[in-house]
Copies of this chain bind each other. A is one copy, B any other.
Amino acid sequence: MSKPVRIGVVGLGYWGPNLVRNFRSIEGATVPICCDLDLSRFQRLNAQYSDLDFTTSAKEVIEHRDVDAVALATPVNTHYELARIALNAGKSVLVEKPLSLRVEESEELVELADLKGLTLAVDHVFVYSPAVRQVKQIVDSGRLGKLFFIDSVRINLGLFQHDVNVIWDLAPHDLSIVDYLVGRMPRSVSAFGSVHAKKDIEDVAYLNLDFGEGLIANFHVNWLSPVKVRSMIIGGSEQSLIYNDLDSSERIKVYDRGISTDSDEEKHKSLISYRTGDMYSPNVSHDEPLRLMAADFVRCIQQQKRPVADGRAGLRVVKILEAAQRSIKAQGGRVILQD
């Protein structure tokens, strides 16, 4: 039996208490200490977990001798600094998405984790959701054929972030899903958006990724939508799929409708033969993604394995976000991504 992993949680805003609850519910993990600048946040937690220690110093948590790993649920602009300190202190790290605000920072963290032989994970939590796992299996099975397009919509009347725009706030979820499904980097990124509520902070935005080989992906992220939508259409040459995270009874639908093209030279003129067929909606388990991610983080530390959402996955998403940021400030100019 493995030694329990002792995790210090830094930041008790929205995400932190969920991490505390989930890590405490996993066999093989404990949460001895947590921190926040705001004591009242801890007090609410402490009513439930009377044996939980508290400090207002992130450094104290990170360097605590009873802490093997830290989970960072702090503002994005602190991720790099805190993760670096933790890795240097020999602690494994789980970082709230996105990994950091800059590609070079993310690269440094990835290298540092490799060098130290520590686990660096990013909470790309959807990659652990049973629905996305099932979508991945369907894509990998080849049932959809060649992927033609991915159309992703994540919109709502939003909780504004103070420091980042809607792309940095919402798109990491969808970019991490698409990264997981497609398995390769896009060749270019373009982004459009507009600013309404807060100076310089885009609250409506569209991203367009060109993956080459005929595959494009479009992302609509929006804090000003009157309705909440969380959906993704994946169009393939053989079948297509819709993943609607808000449809609790039919989260995944696979449509047996593809388009088949003749390969002969007559293609341009010939009529396209459509196949229109059945729809199938597999049962999806209700396991909580955050719990699965927490368990994976603990297992990877214990067994020295690489998590699905590791530092490299976090880095790939930051590369796309940084390119999108440059594009949106250039009013939609296309940014080519280096491998």
- Within the assembled complex, what's the spacing in Å between the Cα atoms of A215 and B195? 9
Residues in A210-247 with C-beta less than 8 Å from chain B: 210, 214-216, 218, 220, 222, 224-228, 233, 235, 237, 240-242
- Within the assembled complex, what's the spacing in Å between the Cα atoms of A192 and B149? 12
- Within the assembled complex, what's the spacing in Å between the Cα atoms of A256 and B249? 13
Is the CB–CB distance between B214 and A196 below 8 Å? yes
Interface code A1-33, partner B: CB below 8 Å = 1, 0 otherwise?
Answer: 000000000000000000000000000000000
Is the CB–CB distance between A206 and B208 below 8 Å? yes
Nearest-neighbour CB distance to chain B for A66, whole angstroms, equals 20
Is the CB–CB distance between A226 and B261 below 8 Å? no
**Chain B neighbourhood of A249, CB < 8 A:** 227-228, 279
Is the CB–CB distance between A188 and B259 below 8 Å? no
**Chain B neighbourhood of A334, CB < 8 A:** 331-333
Residues in A177-206 with C-beta less than 8 Å from chain B: 188, 190, 192-200, 204, 206
Is residue A37 within 8 Å, beta carbon to beta carbon, of the partner chain?
no
Is the CB–CB distance between B216 and A204 below 8 Å? yes
**Chain B neighbourhood of A49, CB < 8 A:** 48
Nearest-neighbour CB distance to chain B for A243, whole angstroms, equals 12
Is residue A157 within 8 Å, beta carbon to beta carbon, of the partner chain?
yes
Q: 5 closest Cβ contacts across the A-B interface?
A: A226-B255, A226-B240, A279-B281, A149-B204, A194-B216
Which positions in A face B, CB cutoff 8 Å?
A: 48-50, 148-149, 151, 157, 160, 162, 188, 190, 192-200, 204, 206, 208, 210, 214-216, 218, 220, 222, 224-228, 233, 235, 237, 240-242, 249-250, 253, 255-257, 259, 261, 267-269, 271-272, 274, 276-283, 331-334
- Sample of 12 further A-B pairs with CB below 8 A, known A160-B271, A198-B261: A148-B194, A149-B194, A162-B269, A197-B261, A197-B272, A206-B218, A225-B240, A226-B233, A226-B253, A226-B257, A278-B280, A278-B283
Can you report 7 residue pairs joining A to B where beta carbons are below 8 Å apart? Answer: A190-B332, A192-B216, A206-B208, A206-B218, A226-B242, A228-B249, A278-B283
